[in-house]
Amino acid sequence: MLDTDTVQDLYILKRITDEQLEAAVTDFLNDPKPSPRPLAEGVANNVCAIMAADPHAQGILAAEHSSEADIHAAVRTAILLAPVG
């Protein structure tokens, strides 16, 4: 069995593509509702919960001066660092 503790591990192993990751970021930014969202086959994460557990991402989302690129990067990073599940 492969050691896949985080979404980033799956990304490195090519089980999650750039397109799937970008779709998850865009989906959250367009509709930040708290529910599991599919990321790849057999992988779903609650991005709202991921964001709530990430103080850095919370700060970026709350800051008035954060650009769209900053927000996008914060959400992407939070998803990558999240546990698989």
From the CB of residue 4, how many other CB atoms can be counted at a distance below 10 Å? 17
- Quick one: pLDDT at residue 63? 94
Q: Say if residues 46 and 37 touch (Cβ distance below 8 Å).
A: yes
For the chain, the domains span 7-81
Q: pTM (2 decimals)?
A: 0.90
- Quick one: pLDDT at residue 3? 65
Q: Strand runs (DSSP E) across the chain, as ranges? A: 37-40, 43-45
Query: pLDDT in tens for each of the 85 residues of the chain?
Result: 456 699 999 999 999 999 999 999 999 999 988 888 889 988 899 999 999 999 999 999 999 999 999 999 999 999 999 998 7
Q: How far apart are CA 73 and CA 85, in angstroms?
A: 21
